A and B are shown apart, each in its own frame.
Chain A
Amino acid sequence: MIGKLETDGLVEHEKYKGVTLTEDGIVRASEALQNYCIIERFLLEVLEVEEFRTEARQLESVIDETVAERLDTIIDRQPQCPDCFDAEDDVCALLETPATADD
């Protein structure tokens, strides 16, 4: 996988030092993260799916960026997305989940 990403110019791999994203890699990663944010927010806001994190991961391979763009027309996503993504919680930090809504 790393070799493929390297061939595509998305990462640079240096032996014993690890892997770094290239500029193109950062752009692609940001796009992928944005799609993921759209799917999560769509599942929660429109379909009211409780397990939206789990289902977003399952749907990620079927919902590409063209489809995500359309879904994006009916959700309420903030302009700073996907920088607001909280990797630890696997969710947009600005997404009001049922748990945070109860806080």
Chain B
Amino acid sequence: MSEGRTYVPTSPTILYDAPTDRRDGREGAVSLTVPVGSDHQLARLLQIGIVLEEVVEARSTRHARRADELEEGVEQLLEAAATESATHRERLEELLAELDADTVPFEEIERLVEAQYEADEAFDGILYDQLCNEETAYKFYDDVIEAIEASDVTFSVDRERVLETLVDIREDEADGVEDVTRLMEQ
């Protein structure tokens, strides 16, 4: 089990179970963690992490463009989220490059996000969307960390470095959840 698990989601919308039972977030669920079996699988998971970060970055930037409708705290939060996601993406891309795999261009994901973006999202909707972004990212990294820790494969990239990077990012996501929750409660 990974160390440093300090975040306990406070959102009433998405509830996670205790680690041993939290495969699908339902009470009594059985842990079905499948270890990461190869460089290829690890690269694919990092690509998905990059896409999730790009979705956050694109949606936060899109939300922040509606600055005249947002309170100051919200606008700052969205800008910080976009910046943080860009940083996470770059860190994941460094690992991905060492695995000799391609990243997913941000412009491509930004285009897909724009195509689906609903322009009429209300103020609460924006914060809720941001909360989902942060919680989803946290959950994803948590699962990936567990799947790497369960693996005995020797990757061509340093396993400890991968884990350190993912744990760092997961902590940022946990902080992000708390920031959004605080703002929603105000």
Tell me if A74 and B34 are in contact (CB < 8 A): no
Partner of A59, one of B44, B109, B132, B136: B44
Contacting A at CB under 8 A, from B27-63, are 28, 30, 32-34, 37, 41, 44-45, 47-48, 51-52, 55, 59
* A50 nearest CB across to chain B (Å): 13
Cβ of A74: which chain B residues have Cβ within 8 Å of it?
51, 55, 109, 112-113, 116
Within 8 A of A (CB), among B144-164: 144, 147
Given A64-B143, A73-B55: A58 in contact with B112 (beta carbons within 8 A)? no
**With contact pairs A67-B140, A70-B55, A71-B51 given, residues A61 and B30 touching in the complex (Cβ less than 8 Å):** no
B133 in contact with A70 (CB, 8 Å) = yes
Interface residues of B, dominant DSSP: helix
B49 nearest CB neighbor, chain A only = A67
Q: Say whether A62 faces chain B, with CB atoms less than 8 Å apart.
A: yes
Contact A46 B112, beta carbon cutoff 8 Å:
yes
- Judged by a CB distance under 8 angstroms, whether B91 is at the interface is no
Question: Which of A4, A59, A67 has the most B CB atoms < 10 Å from its CB?
Answer: A67
B residues neighboring A (CB under 8 Å): 14, 23-25, 28, 30, 32-34, 37, 41, 44-45, 47-48, 51-52, 55, 59, 104, 108-109, 112-113, 116, 132-133, 135-136, 139-140, 143-144, 147
Top 9 A-B pairs ranked by shortest CB distance? Answer: A74-B112, A61-B34, A70-B136, A67-B140, A66-B136, A62-B143, A61-B32, A66-B139, A73-B116
Provide 18 A-B residue pairs closer than 8 Å at the C-beta atoms, listed in order of the A residue: A46-B51, A46-B108, A47-B47, A61-B32, A62-B143, A63-B48, A63-B140, A64-B24, A65-B24, A66-B132, A66-B139, A67-B52, A71-B48, A71-B51, A71-B52, A73-B59, A74-B55, A74-B116
